[in-house]
Structure 1
Amino acid sequence: MTFTSLFADRKPMIGMVHLLPLPETPGFGGSVDAIYRQAQADADALIAAGIDALIVENFGDEPYLIGEPTPAQVAVMAAASSMIRRMTAIPLGINVQFNAYQAEIALAYACQAQFVRVEVFVDTVISAQGLAMPCSAQIQRVRRALGAADVQLWADIQTKYTHNLKDQPLTVSAKEAQAAGADALIVTGAATGQATPLDAVTEVKRVVMLPVVVGSGTTIDSLPDVLRIADGAIVGSALKVDGRAENPVSAERAQAFMQAARAQRGEG
């Protein structure tokens, strides 16, 4: 299944289920049940608003380790993702910070998710926690070994909160990601909630044949321009209480946003 067929030719709005801090992370509050309750509440609000897809992410685990999570963290993410999978039939994605490609594919495979978000696919980057290496070759092999060829790989290029070790244009990274087997590309602003430069999206779309998704900073005000240029948007902060990524989803904000998205897409 391709990106286009997955969303029936619609430019999708993808909402974020930002998990509370997981066990063994600095911010863990001591209750696994609290993680599940918040995930369910956020997913409920987004689904009720008519969101087109969801991504489950361990957003609360800052500062993120580079590489794979612990078994307990994978187990909690699996339970939360499976719960959400049972709640809805809309496409589901998995993102495990930071660049935990083995956990992402395993979770998507086990929880019947349709795609994973991969932060460092072809670029070698420096983050606040050190060097992160590209994983396109490895994740393709893990996916094949699991028989999970239907799990799409949505690849960030020159992802937020990092700097490329190799100085090259964004368009070069885009072409490399396409050649390495990405199913869609994600272009972001510099940080969570910061607007994605739409001229960068335009440049990337000129050099690849893949869908290009805006990965940060989309608001109701910017939605017309985003939908005019990009093939979809991942929306987190704009759907949260007070527009802050760390807050729960606001049902009112989510409903208003999706009403605007449907109007922009010419839907009834």
Structure 2
Amino acid sequence: MAAQLGVYPRKPSAMAELFGTEKTLVGAVHLPPLPGSPSYRGQSVAELCRFAVEEAQAYVGNGFDTVIVENHWDLPFLKPGEHGYEVAATMGVITAAVVAELGAKVGVSVLSNAGQCSVAAAWAAGAGWVRVNQWANAYVANEGIIEGQAASTTRYRHAIGADPVRVFADVHVKHGAHAIVADRTLAEQTEDAEFFDADVLIATGSRTGHPTSVAEVVGIRDHTQLPVVIGSGIDPTNVGPLLAECDGAIVASAAKENSRWWGRVDPEKVRAVARAAGR
């Protein structure tokens, strides 16, 4: 941690390992409902793979560096430990199709907060990283009480030989009341996530698509030696000032045809974000 550099040795940058670029732009591939979801309508896994690859190509072909694959239409979200075998299997196969196009810099996020399932899918697919929203502490979310996944996920990752998979962990998690009794400051939550062995920290707004404040980014950056990326609310108007304070951004809503997370990726909107970021 930044305040105790003599105690916690600095890790090699996971951003440099994975991407080799400065100010990395990551597009979010929001998959249709998957097998096991109440809204699943029987599409073949091959069809779902084609969708994911098309979305990924729309991002990377228009100025972004890579993507993260998410089961964002599996609503309502299950809590960690409740996901069936079909989720890890389907996410692994779909992500592998994207990895075949883009390489190991692809990420995986199984919602909600399913660290072990995400690691299983990423390792099977050859993906390099996962996003876990609540890594340390706990919070009250739409799904109920969500506990940090660091202890179980790191042990599972090691048990299956997936130690190379890096963890991008949110700080001050969106969609919830933070730390139950709100007695953990932003600085403390940042230090907790680093102490629990995250590799990259994520700053977000309060909901999907809501802007992340510069103050939030700086507040996290100033209390960690890990890379920091933006996790929500990036658009052409704010990408420049926000990227100036961190190492990258995950973008979705601003790149969609309807400016909402559930739309298809619009190549021109992707280019607009990339241009504003100096690409």
The TM tier, using the shorter chain, reads over 0.9
Confirm or deny that 1:24 pairs with 2:36.
Answer: yes
- Deviation of the 1:90 alpha carbon: 6.0
Who is 1:173 aligned against? 189
Note the alpha carbon deviations across 1:122-162, whole angstroms, 9 max, x for none. 02111112111111111111111122221111111221111
Percent identical residues = 32
Structure 1 portions without partners, runs of 5+: 264-268
Note the alpha carbon deviations across 1:201-236, whole angstroms, 9 max, x for none. 101111111111110000011011111112111001
2:88 to 58, 61, 74: 74
- Deviation of the 1:94 alpha carbon: 0.6
Q: Note the aligned Cα RMSD (angstroms).
A: 1.5
**CA–CA distance in structure 2, aligned partners of residues 153 and 59 of structure 1:** 19
Q: Give the 5 Å matches for 1:77-88.
A: 77-88=91-102
CA contact (8 A) 2:34 2:87 kept: yes
CA contact (8 A) 2:88 2:120 kept: no
Structure 2 portions without partners, runs of 5+: 1-11
- Deviation of the 1:79 alpha carbon: 1.4
Q: Give the 5 Å matches for 1:238-253.
A: 238-253=254-269
Matched residue type, 2:68: I
Confirm or deny that 1:12 pairs with 2:32.
Answer: no
Who is 2:202 aligned against? 186
Matched residue type, 1:56: V
Confirm or deny that 1:120 pairs with 2:147.
Answer: no
**CA–CA distance in structure 1, aligned partners of residues 181 and 226 of structure 2:** 23
Matched residue type, 1:31: Q
CA contact (8 A) 1:52 1:90 kept: no
SS in 2 for 1:224: helix
Q: After alignment, is 196-205 or 64-73 more displaced?
A: 64-73
Matched residue type, 2:164: D
Confirm or deny that 1:58 pairs with 2:71.
Answer: yes
Who is 1:141 aligned against? 155
The structure whose residues are more often helix, as a share, is: 1
**CA–CA distance in structure 2, aligned partners of residues 16 and 236 of structure 1:** 5
- Deviation of the 1:26 alpha carbon: 2.0
**CA–CA distance in structure 2, aligned partners of residues 26 and 176 of structure 1:** 35
CA contact (8 A) 1:123 1:158 kept: no
CA contact (8 A) 2:104 2:127 kept: no
Who is 1:154 aligned against? 168
**CA–CA distance in structure 2, aligned partners of residues 9 and 49 of structure 1:** 16
Who is 1:47 aligned against? 60
Matched residue type, 1:157: V
Matched residue type, 1:39: A
In the comparison of the two structures, how many residue pairs are matched? 263
**CA–CA distance in structure 2, aligned partners of residues 183 and 39 of structure 1:** 26
- Deviation of the 1:52 alpha carbon: 1.1
Q: TM-score, normalised by structure 1?
A: 0.93
SS in 2 for 1:61: coil
SS in 2 for 1:208: coil
Note the alpha carbon deviations across 1:46-92, whole angstroms, 9 max, x for none. 12113112100001011101114211222221111011111123611
Matched residue type, 1:231: D
Who is 2:251 aligned against? 235
Note the alpha carbon deviations across 1:225-251, whole angstroms, 9 max, x for none. 111112111001111112111011111
Note the alpha carbon deviations across 1:164-211, whole angstroms, 9 max, x for none. 214111111100111111101011111110001210110111111111
Matched residue type, 1:64: F
**CA–CA distance in structure 1, aligned partners of residues 75 and 190 of structure 2:** 27
SS in 2 for 1:256: helix
